[in-house]
Structure 1
Amino acid sequence: MTPIDVVVPEPVYRRVPAGHGLRWWVEGWRSFTLAPLPWIGLAVAMLVLLWLLGELPLGGMLSQWLSLPLLAFGVIFAALLRQRVTRAREITPQGMPVEPQNEGALSASSQMWTRRLGPLLLVSLLVLALGGVIGAAIVMGLGAMFGLGLASFGAFAKIMTPGMGLTAGVGALAGSLMTLLLLVLLALYLFSVAFWFVNTLVAIGGVRPWGAVKLSVRAGFANLAPITLFTVLLLPISLVAMLPFGLGLLVLFPVLSGASFASYHDVFGDGAAG
């Protein structure tokens, strides 16, 4: 049984500084450089599989459900690569170049992923269900706010002169729509923060699905600052990755996988990550 195969029911998380969000990107890039060809092959396979799933009936729901388990494969691969680098450093004399043996890492990752597939499918279903419930509550709440706002703006417009009332109404509608959009984006971001560590807690930590959901919520919001920095950097990096016909996604997927493991390792420590 490999070190990352040890089941840890409840890893203890810690708060890390905001700057670690940048370090996760650096660690993700280092993970890619350890085995670029296997990483690119894995990225191609994942993208093709997700595309094929999207072409099936109810493919959108299927791809959403299976995306977390599929992405977990990359996280497991990144964890194994890091383990092998650590072992190579331990046996390499000081001053000599470190040359980790990465042969068989994909096969070992596949075996580990297969053993964790059931919990990964279940936790992905839990995330989708919670997302649906939270999303419905947000839509209802924002809808009520938006409707109340429109009613207030309508009453305000009636006491204005006709021309000014129309101008004020249009301006108010545009402002309320912008506010609504910002609130939706904020809700989506907070949702991603809450479930930031779900995949890694199940795939690497061996935490049970519901326990992973609860622990991810606590650890995610405890580390809101580095996650925010990481997400802010993700936006321009994703745009750059899409420029050369989307080929940058073949690198972005490995980097994100390595960064996801780095964030888990950073927050939950060596004891949890192995």
Structure 2
Amino acid sequence: MGRLHSLRPAMTSTDLIVPDPVFRRVPAAFGLRWWMAGWRSFMQAPLPWLGLAVALLVLLWLLAELPMGGLLSQWLSLPLLAFGVIFAALLRKRAEQARAMTPQGMPVEPQNEGTLSSTTQRWTGRIGPLLLVSLLVLALGGVIGAVIVMGLGAMFGLGLASFGAFAKVMTPGVGMAAGLGALAGSLMTLLLLVLLALYLFSVAFWFVNTLVALGGVSPWNAVKLSVRAGFTNLAPITLFTVLLLPISIVAMLPFGLGLLVLFPVLSGASFASYHDVFGDEAAA
């Protein structure tokens, strides 16, 4: 991949209209590459990353304690996670600058001083669009979720009706056993459908955060572009998601302390996926 030169500053009303970035398809193996990039990002500045992770978890916990805190934390979680993505992008920039200035064969030591303050400046410049796109994602998720619930409810109702009819024509003992087996199968099918819907939802909005925070894309265009780019790169996103499940379980084992590392790694991986799919022109 080419070198990341700079991040786009916050756009103002006097800025020229910038065309939306063009995405490309990457191989499935990039899903593993994104995990590795996230880990490298964490190892470049572990203490600042841990501080950010603690602050994020505490803030989300405090928001959850407020009235309607669950909905509020969902709305603000995407803009808060964008802070980590911008921080990972700036760390990548510092690392590449240090690599360019370091003689070959010598260890690269990026200068990360001031990265947090630069991240804050860039993040505040995009906070409005981030809040708006998060609201759009919640609204679309609510509509899609309502459709799924109604569809699953219709399927579940049909299953109960079939169970009642089946139980009437069978003897009581056998009919009940068969009916319970069918009911368990129906519930498992419904659960798998819900998980599939959640997965497709995450694929569709995979790049929303980075497109707004780093690409300067407008919220609605970010939603549309993320849907197209996400399903175009379904293979690497699927591999990344498959690996996320066992990694998340391991992160939860030591009293959830692994989440302090998982947040930085996910932030770095999110930026890496954006950088690979949309390229330097979008991330610059």
| TM-score bracket, shorter-length normalisation | over 0.9
Which residue of 30, 54, 76 corresponds with 2:86? 76
In the alignment of these two chains, the number of paired residues is: 274
Distance 1:9 1:162 in 2: 68
Structure 2 residue runs without a partner (length 5+): 12-17
Which of residues 67, 70, 76 in structure 2 aligns to 1:66?
A: 76
- Letter of the 1:186 partner, please give it: L
Q: Which stretch of the first structure deviates more once superposed, 240-249 or 128-137?
A: 240-249
**Which residue is equivalent to 1:11?**
21
| Structure 1 gaps, min length 5 | none
Match of residue 171, structure 1, among 175, 181, 189: 181
Would the aligned equivalents of 2:6 and 2:93 in 1 still touch at CA under 8 Å?
Answer: no
Name the residue aligned to 2:113. 103
Q: Which structure has the highest helix share of the two?
A: 1
The letter for the 2-side match of 1:122 is L
TM-score, normalised on structure 1?
0.97
- Say what the alpha-carbon RMSD is for the aligned residues: 1.3
What's the counterpart of residue 162 of structure 1? 172
Q: Deviations over 1:97-152 (max 9, x none)?
A: 21211100000000000000000000000000000000000000111111112212
- 1:181 maps to 191
> Taking structure 2 as the reference length, what is the TM-score of the superposition?
0.94
CA shift for structure 1 position 162 = 2.1
Aligned with 2:136 (options 123, 126, 150): 126
Is the deviation greater in 54-63 or in 146-155?
146-155
**Equivalent position amino acid for 1:3 in 2:** L
Partner of 2:31: 21
AA aligned to 2:53 is A
Tell whether 2:229 aligns with 1:219.
yes
Compute the displacement of 1:242 (Å): 1.1
**Runs of 4 or more consecutive aligned structure 1 residues displaced over 2 Å after TM superposition:** 1-9
Q: Secondary structure at the match of 1:5?
A: coil
Could you tell me which residue of structure 1 aligns to residue 241 of structure 2? 231
Out of 64, 70, 94, the position equivalent to 2:104 is: 94
Cα offset, 1:3, TM superposition: 3.2
State the Cα distance separating 1:10 from its structure 2 match: 1.0
